[in-house]
Amino acid sequence: MSIAFPVPDPEILARRDAILAGLRPLVAAEALVTTEDERRAFETDGLTAYRQMPLAVVLPSTTAEVSAVMAYCHANGVRVVPRGAGTSLAGGAIAQGDAIILGVAKMARVLDIDFANRTARVEAGITNLAISGAVSHEGFFYAPDPSSQLACTIAGNIAMNSGGAHCLKYGVTTNNLLGVTLVMNDGTVVEIGGDHLDSPGYDLLGLVCGSEGQLGIVTEATVRILRAAEGARPALFGFSSVEDAGACTAAIIAAGIIPVAMEYMDREAILITEDFAQAGYPRDAEAMLIIEVEGSDQECEDMLARIVDIAKAFNPTSLKVSQSETESAAIWKGRKSAFGATGRISDYICMDGTIPTGQLPLVLERIGAICDGHGLRVANVFHAGDGNLHPLILFDINKPGELQKAEAAGDAILKLCVEVGGCLTGEHGVGIEKRELMRFQYEQVDLEQQMRVKNVFDPLWLMNPAKVFPLEGRVAA
């Protein structure tokens, strides 16, 4: 991984005062952030090893304000990096030094809830969890559940096509999104998709979802809301080897069982998390699975019985089926705080790749060998059911060369994912982190076809330009 930001354009830097003067009348006074101290809060995102001071930060309150800012930036050649809550683990929300950040966090209202048709219309800066919070009184919820759901916005979820533990059953953002209001790079406001499952014409919504803030600014979204299941029960399985846990996962999927979630943690992750969350995880296990099923009491009972039967063939060292809401909450508290618990004890980079589930045992073994070879600890926490790996590579940023070693190990892991028939991302996107590795996944001709799509939406490459595509070999409009 070689992460470089383009050198800020001196011509833009020289015009900074004039640009700020042009932006000032377009938003409320407090919505234009210009001082160095205040801008520092926006210099990084979840990829905290990298920092860049943005030219300015603009925090509009309406679609009309977003449109005015975008029109100004387009007319004046100013680059724009959209931002939600800044939790991207791929560096997607870090601005290069000559770009403004346009944050939508102030636009966080619920605009409409239609329980009969199971949709909610929200502003883009609303947090993921707040959507479920707004509909839970009627027994509904919004399904995709990134572990960052308390903080991350639906805008960021749409841009990264985010997933979460329960996406094994419910799909990721693209499967739960019906429409968006998109402000184009020149300020034009367009509606994409609608209130229905499918819309006539090209699937532009599918294009916008996962486009990492490169095609326009999402200011509103219509999402599906689902009726919550009658009940849910997680179970914890401890294993004496990584291979057994991986093979058990593959066997459950191969048996055609779709639990609502199937999460994996290895020994390092179990210990780090248990020290923080005291979730009752098996400290003596080499690996652990959280498997959750949902439905009526009987349905949960039946499905868990089948899962336990399969798991027994892989010699589980412990087995605990949740017997209460409190136990279920503790099990999930551990998993959802695993990244935070890791951050408490070490710097880390979180990799995000996807592999065919049948390759789990082999890939887990090789991840261990790769990190050993670099003299680094690795804690594996991931969505095992859909093969979405999150090795957390621990390093010390204050030790010269450690970040580079961690990055080299990360590169090797992501290349391994591609080699075994998987891909570079699962749910965190490409951002700056995997931009150069895209060459490993795609031929230049494939990359160029994707870039031509960007050219249609943003021919001047003003929108989040230093992300997703390798810096060399870009295709001009």
Q: Which residues bind ligand FAD (CB under 6 A)?
A: 45-46, 81-89, 92-93, 104, 124, 146-148, 152-153, 155-157, 159-160, 162-164, 212-213, 217-218, 339-340, 427-428, 464
For ligand FAD, the closer CB: 318 or 450: 450
Burial category of 384 from C-beta neighbours within 10 Å (exposed 0-12, middle 13-18, buried 19 and up): buried
Burial category of 50 from C-beta neighbours within 10 Å (exposed 0-12, middle 13-18, buried 19 and up): middle
| Residue 158: CB minimum distance to ligand FAD, A | 7
| Residue 156: CB minimum distance to ligand FAD, A | 2
| Residue 150: CB minimum distance to ligand FAD, A | 9
For ligand FAD, the closer CB: 240 or 455: 455
Give the C-alpha separation, 156 to 86, whole Å. 8
Residue with tokens 């017997």: 323
Give the C-alpha separation, 37 to 45, whole Å. 16
Compute CA distances 367 → 119, 225, 234, 376, whole Å: 41, 37, 27, 11
| Residue 455: CB minimum distance to ligand FAD, A | 18
For ligand FAD, the closer CB: 210 or 361: 210
Q: Is the dihedral of CA 96, 398, 367, 389 positive or negative?
A: negative
Compute CA distances 86 → 45, 90, 205, 217, 468, whole Å: 5, 10, 23, 15, 17
For ligand FAD, the closer CB: 212 or 436: 212
| Residue 217: CB minimum distance to ligand FAD, A | 4
For ligand FAD, the closer CB: 152 or 371: 152
Q: Nearest-CB residue to ligand FAD? A: 156
| Residue 162: CB minimum distance to ligand FAD, A | 3
Give the C-alpha separation, 301 to 368, whole Å. 36
For ligand FAD, the closer CB: 156 or 238: 156
| Residue 115: CB minimum distance to ligand FAD, A | 26
Q: Is the dihedral of CA 340, 345, 348, 353 positive or negative?
A: negative
For ligand FAD, the closer CB: 129 or 247: 129
Apex 399 CA angle, 393 and 403, nearest 5: 40
